[in-house]
Structure 1
Amino acid sequence: MTDGDARPLAVLRATIDALDRELLQLTARRMAVVAEVAAYKRAHGMRVRDPAREREVLAERTRDAAELGLPVGEVEAIFRLLLRASREHQSALRAEVPPGEPPRTVAIVGGHGRIGRVMARLFGDLGHRVLVADVDTEIGAAEAAAAADVVIVSVPIDVTEQVITTIGPHVREDALLMDVTSVKRAPVEAMLAATRASVVGTHPMFGASVHSLQGQRVVLCRGRGDAWADWLARTFTARGLVVTEATPAHHDRVMAIVQVLTHFQTQVLGLTLARAGLPLEETLRFTSPAYLLELYVAARHFAQSPALYGPLEMRNPELGAVTDAFRGAATELATVLRAGDQAAFEGMFAEVRAFFGDFTETALEQSSHLIDRIVERT
């Protein structure tokens, strides 16, 4: 075809638009079949996620893509998203909820907050009756707690124990009292002291802005009453969450690394950048993908509320130990760099590489994928 025979650009774009609509229609048909799969799995007591089937699908689709001359990596990414959407759809359709499972009444104290809304959606999707009590609702926290089978405290961390003490006596003995805060020792102790009901401490390891609950992690700390704790673990799993169990003390120690150290280093980076005297826009003209990834994490962090991160870090009992360790590592590294001591630098590299072990290979693969996606969108 010569340039003179080529179709006009407007026609080509209209054709692409029509093909995209066909893709959407096919996706809708696919999700309708996924709904049938969900019904079958529920009737037969099957799990939503089938890793062997997912591997089979990805292998076949990437093989087909290669035969059609399509970019294999991009096609694999598309089908991974489709598989995640399929799992989310099946979970929302209660595929892992046994047909005879009775619905519960779940009261969420602080249900108009960001995580409170996520909890309301989670339990509502699974067919439970949700009562929301907040500062702007007609129903009060104590009244909601007395009426519920499950009472969730989802309020700012600095008032969590106060709210627990207030509503705990209103929770029925045959019910469950739980919280969703980022520290666990103090809230669990407060719940055990405030009520004779079953007690479970939980910590959703994700923010309210997640697009899907599939594969998101939640920590569960048993306080009192294994029957309710087992029910809660099954409920979270049925909605696609990954449950990690821990004691409250172990949770807080691990969170000192997973949250406090992570947020602390991000805050140090942000504060250093803000005071370095070089405009952000100028650094972006020279950005590498890795720097851009770090900037996205830092800017995302500072776009959120200090009222969230301050108490989360300040109330962790391991705060002092982890920040002292960070300061010591930073001082040691700065000393090595200023001295130009390459041997010491390589020794530090070897120490950290040994700590990461085989995870370095996973990190290279996954971070390369993330960097590719970031570069595509810039």
Structure 2
Amino acid sequence: MNVGIIGGSDGLGKTLIYYFRDEFNVFITGRDHKKGREVAKDAKVNYIESNAGLANISDMLIVSVPIQHTSDVIREVAPFMKEGSVMIDVTSIKEKPSKTMAEVLPDTIEYIPTHPIFGPRTTQLDNQVIVLTADKKGKWYDKVYRYLESKNMRIIETTAEKHDYMMSIVQVLTHFSFISTASAIEKLKIDISETEDYESPIYNLMIDLIARIVSQNPYLTYNIQSMNSNGPKIRNTFADAVLELRDAINDGDDKKFMDIAINATKHMGDITNALGRSDKAINGLNHEYGILYDSVGREVGLKHIYSGKIHVGILEGLDGKTAFLKTGNKVKNLRIANIEVLSDDELYQWKLDNLDKKTESISCVFSKIVHVETIEKTVMNIDNIIDIRLTDAYNGPQIDDDSISLTFEVTALSKDDIENVKKLFTGFGGIIR
């Protein structure tokens, strides 16, 4: 099946390439042809310069362009789509694209307005939410639904109107309040780094969430605000709530303040669950840092959570935000927020997959009463030993009658690991030949 992505060189469209390329023939377009060709080459997919040409060859055409351009692109490509194909858009506003598709697409073309409620930084589809707002369901709908279900996604089916109202709370209200908070911090000329000495885990988590929102493309954030028809009501209600709370405090009206706070708390739903989820987030961050702290001076594997690249070396120290990892003669500075620590088993597997193994035959004279299986089991408990097997047993003229020479072939991850085996043999009373 040919999957076309209009806007595949940036943002979510670019992310979608990596979800689809192993299962389908993926073709993309982009505004910047040079960049688009580079993205396609790196991702090992196909690049086409024409949106109309892409529509003409696609069985499934995905429109992933800025919200304000979505309807125009739908109108542009509608006349060129294959009969029996399907159009999908992935914008966070659904009413306008849905109406445009219903207006310009013939009955032979199915359309499914969707909203993947995750961003370009998301690395897997498992347990991610996607909303489908189809006003009619054809043969493609079941195929798409089953595909999303196979990826263990959380699928919500609703109308475009209901979706946009829900997103006015999930996106418009939260983005507006977070950006307002960040703007207030800027207007107060506060140095965020200075607050770190006083920060609580909740403050730290809140600042990270605010930073995540304000770091998004401001054009995207603005269009989410301006193009949702529920936006004015949401923003006005928020502004009224801020002023009401401010006035209660400025006027010394503690009863008014408590009424506002209590009513707001009651309306927040399951507080116990909220506390549990936030505790998990905080404990997760603390646990990861604790593992790093306990690993200083030891060999660790640190995986970058976005690129997937694994760095292995000696953890020399931490400074709160940065881990200092010595690899060879260099020290790498890795942001703690962007890494996860490999378990011992994961680190061992990485070494098996990536390091050159060393194999050496070791001959050692032991007492005849030595137990070979005990030696082998003990050696396999040494870090970084891959295999040991007995290849020869000799008690000829050069060996005392009460002794035996045993030769083991040992495979390990490094020469030093093999030297550790030799030390173990001498610890068993053996003499290396």
TM-score under structure 1 length normalisation: 0.69
1:134 matched to 2:45:
no
Distance 2:182 2:97 in 1: 31
Q: Does 1:108 align with 2:21?
A: no
Q: What's the CA shift for 1:345?
A: 2.4
Q: Which aligned pairs between 1:15-94 and structure 2 lie closer than 5 A?
A: none
Deviation at 1:325, TM superposition (A): 0.5
Contact 2:2 2:26 in 1 (8 A): yes
Secondary structure (helix, strand or coil) at the match of 1:201 reads strand
Structure 2 stretches lacking a partner, 5+ long: 34-46, 290-319, 321-433
1:176 aligned partner: 86
CA contact (8 A) 2:117 2:131 kept: yes
Aligned counterpart for 1:324 among listed residues 219, 228, 236: 236
Counterpart mapping for 1:180-219 below 5 A:
180-196=90-106, 197-219=109-131
**CA deviation profile, 1:64-109 (whole Å, cap 9, x unmatched):** xxxxxxxxxxxxxxxxxxxxxxxxxxxxxxxxxxxxxxxx221111
Match of 1:373 in 2: 284
Q: Equivalent residue of 1:223, what SS?
A: coil
Instruction: Tell whether the 8 Å contact from 2:28 to 2:48 is kept in structure 1 after alignment.
Output: no
The aligned amino acid for 2:6 is V
Aligned mates of 2:262, 2:213 — CA distance in 1: 30
Structure 1 residue 139, shift from structure 2 partner: 4.3
Q: Deviations over 1:135-176 (max 9, x none)?
A: 324442111111111110011112111111100111123111
Aligned to 2:146: 234
Task: Kindly provide the amino acid, as one letter, of the partner of residue 279 in structure 1.
Answer: D
1:277 CA drift (Å): 2.8
**Equivalent pair of 1:180/1:203 in contact (CA under 8 Å):** yes
Q: 1:77 — aligned with what? A: none
Partner SS, residue 356 of structure 1: coil
What's 1:151 paired with? 61
Structure 1 residue matching 2:21: 3-state secondary structure: helix
Q: Contact 1:192 / 1:224 at 8 angstroms: preserved in 2?
A: no
- In the TM superposition, residue 296 of structure 1 has moved relative to its aligned partner by 0.7
Aligned partner (choices 114, 124, 130) of residue 21 of structure 2: 124
Choose 1 or 2 for highest CA Rg. Answer: 2
- Tell me the equivalent position of 2:361: none
SS at match of 2:126: coil
Residue 293 of structure 2: aligned partner: none
2:209 corresponds, among 290, 297, 305, to 297
Partners of 1:282 and 1:119 in 2: CA distance: 39
> Where do residues 328-367 of structure 1 align in structure 2 (5 Å cutoff)?
328-357=240-269, 359-367=270-278
The answer to whether the 8 Å contact 1:106/1:129 transfers is: yes
| Residue of structure 1 equivalent to 2:298 | none
SS at match of 2:155: strand
Q: Once structures 1 and 2 are overlaid, which stretch shifts more, 347-356 or 328-337? A: 347-356
Larger RCO: 1 or 2 (CA < 8 Å, sep 6+): 1
1:355 counterpart letter in structure 2: H
Identity %: 29
Per-residue deviation, 1:118: 2.4
Equivalents in 2 of 1:143, 1:279: separation in Å? 51
RMSD: 1.6
Q: CA deviation at 1:111?
A: 1.3
Letter of the 2:279 counterpart: S
